Amino acid sequence: MIDLKNAVKTADGVTLNGFLLSSVVEQCSGCDRVRGFEEQQFCSSYPEPISKWTGGRCNFATHIKAQASTAATKMNPLKASKRAAKGR
Ligand code: SF4
3-class DSSP assignment, residue 16: strand
Name the DSSP class of 85.
Answer: H
pTM: 0.73
pLDDT of 35-88, one tens digit each? 999 899 999 999 999 999 999 999 999 998 765 555 556 778 888 888 888 876
d(CA 24, CA 53): 10
Cα 54-21-6 angle, rounded to 5 deg: 145
Ligand 1 center to 18 CA (angstroms): 21
Whether ligand 1 lies within 6 angstroms of the CB of 24 is answered as yes
Counting the structural domains of the chain, the total is 1
Ligand 1 center to 15 CA (angstroms): 18
3-class DSSP assignment, residue 7: coil
Q: 35 lies in which domain range?
A: 4-86
E strand or H helix at 45 = none
pLDDT of 6-45, one tens digit each? 899 999 999 998 899 999 999 999 999 999 998 999 999 9
